[in-house]
Amino acid sequence: MADGYNPPLQVAGFIATRKGDAERGPAVRVRGDDASLRGVRDGEVVWIYGPRRHDLATVIIDDTLKRGEVVVRDVAGTAPTEIIRLVRTDADRPLLNPKPV
């Protein structure tokens, strides 16, 4: 996983879509400050590391969520109340606002 501070996030909700839904596919909704802490941006693809597996998903910024919570859509292997971590797929890109170590 990427270096730096990356605290865990709790899955607060799960959205399962159906064929014909306007918005489909793996996504993770996260607060803007939580995303910034992890160096990810809206629309970026990230790895979601869960208790059983890891998957790719698109980041959607949603500041209505509580700090430390996420809502996942169409990500197999995650369920509400589980703990996950978000990891950038392009570790070569510098962090948005790196924190001193």
**72 domain-assigned:** yes
pLDDT given for residue 6 in this prediction = 85
Per-residue pLDDT of the chain (101 residues; tens, 9 = 90+): 445 678 999 999 999 999 999 999 999 999 999 999 998 999 999 999 999 999 999 999 999 999 999 999 999 889 999 999 999 987 666 655 555 44
Domain with 61 in it: what CATH number? 2.40.40.20
**Does the residue 100 lie in any domain?**
no
In a domain, 98, yes or no: no
> What's the start-to-end Cα distance of the chain, in Å?
17
pTM: 0.84
DSSP letter for 45, please. E
In a domain, 99, yes or no: no
Q: Which domain holds residue 83?
A: 9-88
* Cα 12 to Cα 7: distance, rounded to the nearest angstrom: 16
What amino acid occupies position 53?
R
- Domain count within the chain: 1
User: Does 21 reside within a domain?
Assistant: yes
